[in-house]
Structure 1
Amino acid sequence: MTKENILFLAVGLLLGLIVGFVVTNNLNQSGMQMMPGGTQPTSGMPSGHPGVPGDPSQPGGMQDVQSTIDKARQNPNDFDAQLEAAKVYYQIQRFDGAVEFLKRANELKPDDYDTLVNLANAYFDSGKYEDAEKTYLSALEKKKDDVNVRTDLGLTFIFREKPDYDRAIKEFTASLQLDPNHVQTLQNLTVAYTKKGDAAKAQETLAKLESVDAGNAAITRLRDDIAKIGTK
């Protein structure tokens, strides 16, 4: 979810810690990133800042959203129109709609890397983790050293109905070979080891995370979850 997101699963509880892209806007993740991107929510902007075009919270916002979507449907070969429609669907958190228009954009420009990554992100946010996996893999065929994308690929194996923690660990480990200090990957790898029940590896990875980002808000919860291994 590019996303660059921090998503982690606490033991016995699914938790999303989002930085940037997954859930509220998402996908973690890399590339254009649907939000933030060409459009951004107005929260956090200075007082009196004009509304963002297409922002449904502003007067006429939903009308602008519908107009953007209609334009994309009426111009199916307009690449930019498909992207704009996908963005507004992200803004209203209709990830299925974002998938529709990103698929079309990808068909129009199959070599556009950012579009491919955002399609994977949209699948992820739609809960279609197998589709997200396939699309992230396609992106990695084009850019194998994208740490964020490989980390998001690993997350698909944690979030799916039948998790594959070993595969998630494999992908996170590959990400760390590219960037040993990648905070999101260290956090997610700690979670994967914890979910697997490997306290030693989880603690080792958490120690690395603490050395890289001592103020990380997830550390206390991760430490508590590691301590619970073997008590359930």
Structure 2
Amino acid sequence: MINKENILFCIVGLLGGVIIGFMFANSMNQKAMLQAGQANQQMAGLPSGHPSVGDNQGGSVQEVQAAIDKARAEPQNFDAQIKAAEMYYQIQRFDGAVEFLEQARKIKPDDYNTIVNLANAYFDSNKYEEAEKTYQLAIEKKPDDINVRTDLGLTYVFRPNPDYEKAIKELNGALEKNPNHIQALQNLTVAYTKKGDAANATATLARLKTADATNSAIAKLQSDIEKIGQN
């Protein structure tokens, strides 16, 4: 079982920068992480709890294959499906994680952690519409889960046809629960910046500076805001 922790990652986008990722937890606690980007990268903060892509703390190739084989041989074994999904995360095969998390959900359709982590797997597979729908199912069960609502907001930012208004709505919803939620503030700054709303981006960045003055994303976020209207 893997403890939550925040890790820095990159994701392809228009703004350049870094993205805070997160670890896959023991009982598949909460979120997923974002895969590494290339060239131009977007700065956004992601809540803790996501699986760590590139974390090689997992087992050997034989152990990974054994877990996958066991899950396929025992399709009604919930724990085996979860273990196989974790293994697929370790080898950065998010589509495989989706496969086993979907099967796990068939076994325990109301298990909250499984729903959240299925959404995470969709997210990491760049299937943002599916991630959106699945995060919404989780929010129906736990409306006060700020991390899940933050992830939901990110699905609107990262999809091929972004919907910044919906992203802003969800991120503001998270901030209503916790005005100092670092990732929500960071992501809201990104959403306003990508929307071209310099005034609100600047105001949100000021809130981030107050909440976390040493945040490593601040300088890049400020730079991106200053570029609004230059292109």
Name structure 2 gaps, 5 residues minimum: 24-32, 37-45
Structure-2 separation of matches of 1:10 and 1:85: 27
Residue number among 6, 10, 21 corresponding to 1:19 in the alignment: 21
> Which whole-Å deviations, capped at 9, do the CAs of 1:121-173 have from their partners, x for residues lacking one?
00000000000000000000000000000000000000000000011000000
Corresponding residue for residue 47 of structure 1 = none
1:229 is paired with a residue of what secondary structure? coil
Corresponding residue for residue 231 of structure 1 = 230
Structure-2 separation of matches of 1:8 and 1:178: 27
Decide whether aligned partners of structure 1 residues 41 and 183 sit closer, same or farther in structure 2, where only a CA change above 3 A counts. Answer: same
* Higher-Rg member (1/2): 1
Q: 2:94, 2:122 within 8 Å by CA — same for their partners in 1?
A: yes
Residue number among 53, 56, 59 corresponding to 1:41 in the alignment: 56
Structure-1 separation of matches of 2:136 and 2:145: 11
> Which whole-Å deviations, capped at 9, do the CAs of 1:56-101 have from their partners, x for residues lacking one?
xxxxx11111111000000000000000000000000000000000
Decide whether aligned partners of structure 1 residues 147 and 35 sit closer, same or farther in structure 2, where only a CA change above 3 A counts. Answer: same
Q: 1:133, 1:156 within 8 Å by CA — same for their partners in 2?
A: yes
Q: Residue 186 in 1 paired to residue 185 in 2?
A: yes
Q: 2:11, 2:34 within 8 Å by CA — same for their partners in 1?
A: no
> Which whole-Å deviations, capped at 9, do the CAs of 1:179-202 have from their partners, x for residues lacking one?
100000000000100111111100
Where has structure 1 moved over 4 Å in runs of 4 or more?
2-11, 28-31, 33-36
Name structure 1 gaps, 5 residues minimum: 43-51, 55-60
Q: Which has the higher contact order (CA 8 A, sep 6+)?
A: 1
Decide whether aligned partners of structure 1 residues 29 and 97 sit closer, same or farther in structure 2, where only a CA change above 3 A counts. Answer: farther
Corresponding residue for residue 207 of structure 2 = 208
Q: 2:95, 2:125 within 8 Å by CA — same for their partners in 1?
A: yes
Question: What TM-score does the superposition give when structure 2 sets the normalisation length?
Answer: 0.83
Structure-1 separation of matches of 2:97 and 2:139: 21
How far off its partner does 1:110 sit? Answer: 1.0
Structure-2 separation of matches of 1:6 and 1:69: 28
CA RMSD after TM alignment: 2.6
Question: What TM-score does the superposition give when structure 1 sets the normalisation length?
Answer: 0.83
